[in-house]
Amino acid sequence: MKEKKLRNIFTEGPIPAQKIADDVQHHSGKNDIGAHSIFLGQVRADAKDGGTVTAIEYTAYIEMALEKMALIRENLFAKYPLTCMHVHHSLGTVAVGEICLFVFVSAAHRKAAIDACEELVEQIKQELPIWGKEIVSEQLSYWKENK
Amino acid sequence: MGINVLFFGSLTDATAVAALNNVAAGDTAALQELLHQQYPALRTAKYFIAVNQQMIRENTTLKTGDVVALMPPFSGG
């Protein structure tokens, strides 16, 4: 096994809205950035048989997800002229209306930031071993399926 | 020592456990057969297999200490 430090992407519970403002503020000193592209995933109150989704409970194969994320990151940096990329995904319970995914891509110019951000979100949904369980009530839940 | 097996997502509804340790199986096909006997609901479940975090598509030889993960389709984000 090769030893390398893997960047964590997981946060227990929802991602606080304040974190988004704080992270934008933290980039104000990076003078080569001209564009930030941000994607926020929010838990939706989908209608289900027997009620409405009240929360999503996330679990992951953490070690594999971080390995995979490192590869995705490397590939996107090779493909687009990016300055930086930050991904935060929730684990555990996130209530309806709360943020479960925060993707933040920065570049000198908007096109690279926007294109890379979109591609990154698609890859996070398709390639990272993360599962969401949609909670309707204490007795009723459904395993989430990505469209 | 044997194979360590991890179950994720909806598969844990079928197994009621998240992991099995010291399972004796020489390859992934034998392991699947063993798990399908122990947890019949897995037979009809759709899942991918990773051996030591690498996704595999074909029968793969296993050795002591390997970690085999059974993973249903991903639904993050």
- Please, which residues have CB within 8 angstroms of residue A95's CB and are 6 or more apart in sequence? A14, A43, A54, A55
Give the gap in angstroms from C-alpha B2 to the nearest C-alpha of chain A: 18
B52 within domain boundaries: yes
Q: Which domain holds residue B44?
A: 3-13+21-63
* Domains by residue range for chain A, with CATH: 39-143 (3.90.1170.40)
Residue B68 lies in a domain: no
Q: Chain B interface residues facing chain A, Cβ-Cβ under 8 Å? A: 6, 8-10, 13, 50, 53, 69, 71-77
Please determine, for residue B23, whether its predicted confidence score (pLDDT) is greater than 70.
yes
Cα A147 to Cα B52: distance, rounded to the nearest angstrom? 28
Between CA A128 and CA A131 the distance in angstroms is: 9
The complex's ipTM works out to 0.95
Q: Is A50 helix (H, G, I), strand (E, B) or coil?
A: coil
Number of domains in chain B: 1
Task: Tell me if B70 is assigned to some domain.
Answer: no
C-alpha torsion B53→A67→A64→A99, nearest 10: -160
Report chain A (147 residues): mean pLDDT per 10 consecutive residues: 79 98 97 98 97 98 97 98 98 98 98 98 98 97 92
